[in-house]
């Protein structure tokens, strides 16, 4: 089994986007990569807690959880040597209801399924991580709740329920998550989709201020940070397809001159 233990230096660590190993940030380079952007949609204008579209009546735990994407979170050491989590997830304490305050879509296509999903989990330092989570439908004031599905979990998990467009039209239009537990908890990656052929969540897409929707796959070019073991040799123009009818005009670009 491969053990990844970088040499201890006063440098910040980061992960390679390909192999996932931790390396010193100064040893990573950015390379261009073509990738396929999948079809996706999210009719929630905010996929994370924002205090306006999403509200919660539980007690603010004054803690930050790592959440579902813990690699994105970072530990910060303050001037007084206290530790805090940067880029984590808002955390709550005790029982409470997490809900949206406005109706995302007024009318659905009756033949489609409407799928509500989210990531829910206990704070990583809870001594009792067990939770009961209810997903359901409510009005914009948080009244007239209708429970749709109940879960008992003891760790971070993706939860969802689906109903038909006709059922969604007949409902109150807003969504809620009710948590019963004895510790702290978080909710993230909220998503609302519609699809006539499935009743399970599709590709998650993060939103911040506006909804997202793409009905078909699309090619895109982006960048990724890679370590020395995962770089791809960038060839000179005459070698771009691996073979050529003319002699090479240059050697491959040096390994760590790949930043664009």
**Is residue 30 a contact partner of residue 231, using CB atoms and an 8 Å limit?**
no
User: Of 233 and 204, which is predicted with more confidence?
Assistant: 204
Overall average pLDDT of the 184-188 stretch? 97
- Per CATH, domain 40-216 is 2.60.120: yes
Examine the pLDDT at 88 and tell me if it is beyond 50. Answer: yes
Overall average pLDDT of the 105-117 stretch? 93
pTM: predicted TM-score of the whole model, two decimal places: 0.77
List the single range of 30-34, 76-80, 87-91, 235-239 with lowest mean pLDDT.
Answer: 235-239
pLDDT tens, position by position, 112-123: 999 999 999 999
Examine the pLDDT at 259 and tell me if it is beyond 80. Answer: no
Residues of the chain with CATH 2.60.120: 40-216
pLDDT attached to residue 20: 84
């Amino acid at each position: 089994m491969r053990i990844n233990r970088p040499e201890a230096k006063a440098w910040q660590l980061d992960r390679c986007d390909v192999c996932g190993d931790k390396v010193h940030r100064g040893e990573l380079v950015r390379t261009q990569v073509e990738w396929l952007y999948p079809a996706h949609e999210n009719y929630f204008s905010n996929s994370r807690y924002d205090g306006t579209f999403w509200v919660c009546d539980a007690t603010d735990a004054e803690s930050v959880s790592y959440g579902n994407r813990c690699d994105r979170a970072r530990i910060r050491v303050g001037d007084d040597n206290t530790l805090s989590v940067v880029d984590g997830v808002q955390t709550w304490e005790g029982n409470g209801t997490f809900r949206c305050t406005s109706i995302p879509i007024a009318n659905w296509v009756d033949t489609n399924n409407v799928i509500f999903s989210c990531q829910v989990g206990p704070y990583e330092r809870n001594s009792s991580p067990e939770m009961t989570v209810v997903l359901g439908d409510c009005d914009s004031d948080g009244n007239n709740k209708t429970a749709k599905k109940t879960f008992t979990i003891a760790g971070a998990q993706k939860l969802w329920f689906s109903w038909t467009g006709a059922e969604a039209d007949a409902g109150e239009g807003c969504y809620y998550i009710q948590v019963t537990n004895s510790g702290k908890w978080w909710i993230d990656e909220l998503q609302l989709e519609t699809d006539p052929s499935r009743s399970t969540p599709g590709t998650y897409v993060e939103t911040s201020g506006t909804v997202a929707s793409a009905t078909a796959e699309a090619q895109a070019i982006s960048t990724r940070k890679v370590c020395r073991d995962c770089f791809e040799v960038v060839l000179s123009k005459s070698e771009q397809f691996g073979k050529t009818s003319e002699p090479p005009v240059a050697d491959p670009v040096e390994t760590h001159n790949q930043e664009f």
